[in-house]
C-alpha cells in the first residue's frame, strides 16, 4: 500500500509468497509502489493524496489493469536494468544464475528475459 500523504509504503507480510525469499519479494513490492508514486507524479496527480492499495494479484505478470502493469514495468526496469540483465545473461545464460545475481525471483527474471527478447519462451 502506498500512502502518498505520509510518503510511506506499507507491506502486508501475509501476502508474501511462501516460496520466495522475503527480502526479494519485498524489494519487488516496494519498487512496484515507488512506480505508482513516480507515474502518479509524472501524470501531474501528486496533489491527489489518496492511498493506493495493491494486492498480490496486482503484482502478478498477467495483471490486466494498466496502472498495475505500469508499476510492474517500473519495478522490473528498476530492479533488472536492461544493461545488467544482458551482461549477466551473456556471462551465464541460466535463469537461476541471473535471478540470483540480480536478487529477483526466477519468474521475474524469466519475464524480463522474455520481454528483452533474450529467451523465446514465456515463463511458466
Ligand atoms: Zn499496484
Q: Which pLDDT value is given to residue 63? A: 65
82 alpha carbon – ligand 1 mean position (Å): 22
1 alpha carbon – ligand 1 mean position (Å): 8
Distance between CA atoms of residues 47 and 124, nearest Å: 40
24 alpha carbon – ligand 1 mean position (Å): 17
Distance between CA atoms of residues 81 and 86, nearest Å: 9
pTM, two decimal places: 0.82
Say how many C-beta atoms besides its own lie within 10 A of residue 70's C-beta: 17
Contact call for residues 49 and 5 (beta carbons, < 8 A): yes
Q: Which pLDDT value is given to residue 50? A: 77
Tell me what the mean pLDDT of segment 49-73 comes to. 78
Tell me what the mean pLDDT of segment 21-47 comes to. 83
92 alpha carbon – ligand 1 mean position (Å): 32
Grid coordinates in use for 35? 512506480
Q: Which pLDDT value is given to residue 90? A: 98
Q: Which pLDDT value is given to residue 112? A: 95
Query: Quick check: 115 pLDDT over 90?
Result: yes
Contacts 24+ apart (CB under 8 A), 55-60: 55/15, 56/15, 56/16, 56/17, 58/32, 59/28, 59/29, 59/32
Tell me what the mean pLDDT of segment 78-99 comes to. 97
116 alpha carbon – ligand 1 mean position (Å): 22
Distance between CA atoms of residues 104 and 98, nearest Å: 8
Grid coordinates in use for 73? 514495468
Q: Which residue has the cell 528498476?
A: 78
113 alpha carbon – ligand 1 mean position (Å): 22
Amino acid at each position: 500500500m502506498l500512502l502518498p500523504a505520509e510518503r510511506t509504503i506499507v507491506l502486508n507480510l501475509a501476502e508474501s509468497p511462501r516460496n520466495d525469499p522475503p527480502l526479494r519479494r519485498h524489494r519487488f513490492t516496494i519498487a512496484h509502489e515507488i512506480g505508482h508514486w513516480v507515474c502518479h507524479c509524472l501524470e501531474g496527480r501528486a496533489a491527489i493524496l489518496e492511498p493506493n492499495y495493491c494486492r498480490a494479484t496486482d503484482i502478478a505478470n498477467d495483471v490486466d489493469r494498466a496502472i498495475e502493469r505500469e508499476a510492474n514495468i517500473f519495478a522490473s526496469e528498476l530492479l533488472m536494468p536492461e544493461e545488467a540483465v544482458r551482461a549477466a545473461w551473456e556471462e551465464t545464460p541460466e535463469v537461476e544464475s541471473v535471478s540470483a545475481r540480480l536478487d529477483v525471483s526466477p519468474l521475474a527474471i524469466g519475464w524480463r528475459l522474455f520481454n528483452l527478447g533474450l529467451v523465446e519462451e514465456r515463463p511458466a
